[in-house]
Amino acid sequence: MIEIDKLSKVFQSQDGEDVVAVRNFSVAIAKNEFVSLVGPSGCGKSTMLRLVAGLIPPTVGTILIEGVPVREPRQDTGIVFQSPTLLPWATVADNVLFPLKMMHQMAVDSLDKANALLGLVGLAGFEKKYPRELSGGMQQRAAICRALIHDPGILLMDEPFGALDALTREEMSLELLRIWTEQPKTILFVTHSIPEAVLLSDRVIVMSARPGEIVEIVEVPLPRPRSFAVEARSEFQDCAQHIRKLIFGARDEHDGAPS
């Protein structure tokens, strides 16, 4: 579904120096697979997501989606950003319909579809409200509906629950799993939270910082459907511990700090 081959991205910083954000990144993601990107701040996770979204071009390497190189944003991709980024002047329903309006795909049943999606995430009855009337978690749910409205095959999520409080965050992870089960999609999920990545994903790509490189791609050996109960299992703990070591173990060696 998504094939990323030897991808590198170099930015020019303001003083003209080259900054390598991502280096030699290769992975193949299967259809309807749930893959997370985990790593320390500044490891190029978000850059990776923007590259796959076609928002920025790679410096070296290729991204193929269904065999076609990504050169610009595709119709078949939905994106959820860290902040809800809802338009404050539009109602929740209009916000959800935004991608269809931009891509000239509005149909007679589009509004029904938006309402159905809002119902799916527990926002029935809020269609005509404005974003400021919603809590942070509700706004992010609306943003997820917006990413799903055009029925994309690929969902790119950039720390979608990062700005939410811990309780809302846990609730939203389960909700995402439920949506993914009902409407299977290929999901690339960027997060800071190791437990969140393990709970949600089939595979977790662990990245190192500066330059952003793949340290290891970890398979999550947990059965589906998953709930918070799996967090108590030893496989979950081992997997999370393994990822933690990959990230912090390397850092300890650099710093020379005792582990």
Taking the C-alpha atoms of residue 4 and residue 52, their distance in angstroms, rounded to an integer, is: 9
Min separation Cβ 70 and another protein, Å: 12
Min separation Cβ 67 and another protein, Å: 21
Q: Which of 41, 89, 167, 225 binds another protein (CB under 8 A)?
A: 89
Min separation Cβ 219 and another protein, Å: 30
**Site map for another protein, 37-56, x if CB under 8 A?**
----------------xxx-
Q: Is residue 107 within the footprint of another protein (CB under 8 A)?
A: no
Amino acid at 17: E
Q: Across-strand partners of 205?
A: 37, 217
Candidates 100-108, 169-177, 197-205, 208-216; binding stretch for another protein (CB under 8 A): 100-108
Amino acid at 49: L
Taking the C-alpha atoms of residue 68 and residue 203, their distance in angstroms, rounded to an integer, is: 23
Tracing tokens 């089939």 back to the chain, one arrives at: 202
Taking the C-alpha atoms of residue 165 and residue 77, their distance in angstroms, rounded to an integer, is: 27
The pair of three-digit structure tokens given for residue 36, joined into one six-digit string = 């997370």
Candidates 26-34, 87-95, 159-167, 199-207; binding stretch for another protein (CB under 8 A): 87-95
Helix, strand, or coil here: 25?
strand
Amino acid at 178: R
Min separation Cβ 230 and another protein, Å: 33
Which is nearer to another protein, 75 or 237 (by Cβ)?
75
Min separation Cβ 99 and another protein, Å: 4
Identify each DSSP E strand in 30-75 by its residue range.
34-38, 60-65, 68-69
Rule CB under 8 A: which residues touch another protein? Answer: 53-55, 72-73, 75, 77, 79, 81, 83, 85, 87-89, 98-99, 101-103, 130, 132
